[in-house]
Amino acid sequence: MSVLNPTVCLQWRWQTSLQFVRFRKRINIQRPAAPHYEKAKVLKVCKPYYLNPREGMSLADLCEKPIEVQPRNEDVENPYERILAREVLNWFNHSRLVAFFHSNPISAEDRFRTNIMLKKQNMYLKQYGKKVMRMALEDTKYEPVLTLFVSRNFMVFSPELQVGKLLKLNRRIPQLILMAAIVDDRFMSVNELVKYSNMPDLKTAQAGLVAVLNAAAVQLTQNLTHHQQTLLGHLQKHIELQQKMSNEEEA
Amino acid sequence: MSIRFSGTLKRSAGVASAIAKQTRLLNLKPVKNIVVKFDPFNKNVKETREFLFSLTGSKVLTTNISCKIKTNILCDRSQPSITFTLSNNEVIVFKSANLTNLELLQLYNKHITPLASTEEPETIVPQTKSEKKARKKR
């Protein structure tokens, strides 16, 4: 009755038959039985073979580190790095002053305080890695800057030209050491920056230039009119003395 | 018949751990003044800058708070150097153009750090309970 019941019929499944092979204690691996000739033929045909990558190499080449062990350069481009590189180039193109600092160990708190100090002067503190900088500045006019990017670096960007303030800040922040700067598209070392900050403003410099240009003509007129000027001077003094004497007489 | 053991039991953990070990051993106590001179545009300046970075770590600085570290940026493409003025007024100059960061640290630890241990600090012997009681009774 149960056999004819459809629910019981559905429960019939193929049962895998289990036949235990390992009934002895140890399995035999080291002395396997020789296979049958036909089986041996199939095994021989299906055996995998690998080509020797070092075939045909000279002894000199073989003495070098094997190719399989050498690390492959994974040159997978990271889109975030590309974005950062674009940002860096943008900063370079839109700031009149770009300062490069060597960085000693600086705590996050000190870095934050430095950031605030700089922001108050309209200067912006940035730090990027060598890879991003190379990506940004290679094949541009800013390529020489890459020689500075060895060890740890910080950069300060400013849309205004404030070299004096930059030098003052360099003294106030002990962990950052100024190495060089780009001032109005001119790459300057520290000496040149100091000279630049000590220079007078443009109008004074122009006045000085005008004076230098006129110096020869001025000297010439002085030489020509020297005797006349001295005579004039003596005469004036004579008049003054006479006036004094007449005043004294009246008194 | 076996030969005597030669070689290493432990493998080297790399340059970074060697540098870390040397940095842990650094002691600025015998030095009163350090002047690091380098030209940032010189090719041989990387290791000097890294050494300056190692010297100015917070843990290293706490070994001697009164030690002044000054950096001179040169503009004449001259070779980098590090000058240590010790507290006994001796002056030691490291010409670091062809030395690596690790070598500089090793040299420092070989020549200058041992001078710190010659100044023995006063060891405070802790008092036992009975000693304290005796003091109180007095």
pLDDT single digits (tens) B44-72 = 999 999 999 999 999 999 999 999 999 99
N- to C-terminal Cα distance for chain A? 165
Identify the pLDDT of residue A96.
95
pLDDT single digits (tens) A176-193 = 999 999 999 999 999 999
Indicate whether A210 pLDDT > 90: yes
Substitution target in A177, A187, A195 with the highest count of B β-carbons within 10 Å is A177
Report if pTM > 0.80: no
Instruction: Check A180 against B41: CB less than 8 A apart.
Output: yes
Beta carbons of A152 and A146 less than 8 angstroms apart = no
Q: Range with the lowest mean pLDDT among A208-217, A228-237, B125-134?
A: B125-134
Indicate whether A12 pLDDT > 70: no
Beta carbons of B112 and B120 less than 8 angstroms apart = no
Proportion of chain B above pLDDT 70, given as a percent: 96
Identify the pLDDT of residue A1.
47
Packing angle between helix A226-250 and helix A202-224, nearest 10 degrees? 90
Q: What are phi and psi of B41, to 5 degrees?
A: -95, 0
pLDDT single digits (tens) A84-112 = 999 999 999 999 999 999 999 999 999 99
Bridge partners of A180? A100, A189
pLDDT single digits (tens) A34-90 = 999 999 999 999 999 999 888 888 888 888 777 777 777 777 889 999 999 999 999
Indicate whether B81 pLDDT > 90: yes
Annotated domain spans of chain A: 79-198
Instruction: Check A190 against B75: CB less than 8 A apart.
Output: yes
Q: What are phi and psi of A126, to 5 degrees?
A: -135, 150
What is the least distance, in Å, from the CA of A194 to any CA of chain B? Answer: 12
Proportion of chain A above pLDDT 90, given as a percent: 72
pLDDT average, residue stretch A119-141: 94
Only one residue has tokens 């545009």, namely B41
Q: Which of B49, B52, B57 sits opposite A150 (nearest CB)?
A: B49
Identity of the amino acid at A77 = E
Question: Which has more confidence, A6 or A175?
Answer: A175
Q: Range with the lowest mean pLDDT among A6-15, A136-145, B12-21, B42-51?
A: A6-15
Neighbours of A175 (CB within 10 A): 16
All residues of chain B having their beta carbon less than 8 Å from the beta carbon of residue A104 are 52-53, 56
Beta carbons of A154 and A128 less than 8 angstroms apart = no
Instruction: Check B57 against A175: CB less than 8 A apart.
Output: no
Those residues with Cβ within 8 angstroms of residue A188's Cβ, 6 or more apart along the chain or in another chain? A180, A181, A182, A196
B 59-78 residues inside an 8 A Cβ radius of A = 71, 73, 75
Instruction: Check A178 against B73: CB less than 8 A apart.
Output: yes
Question: Which has more confidence, B126 or B50?
Answer: B50
Identify the pLDDT of residue A22.
66
Identify the pLDDT of residue A19.
76
Cα A234 to Cα A230, B69, B80, distances in angstroms: 6, 66, 66
pLDDT average, residue stretch A213-222: 93
Hey, which CATH number is domain A79-198, 3.40.630.10, 3.30.70.1730, 3.30.420.40, 3.40.50.2000?
3.30.70.1730
Mean pLDDT of all residues in chain A?
Answer: 90
Identify the pLDDT of residue A126.
96
Mean pLDDT of all residues in chain B?
Answer: 91
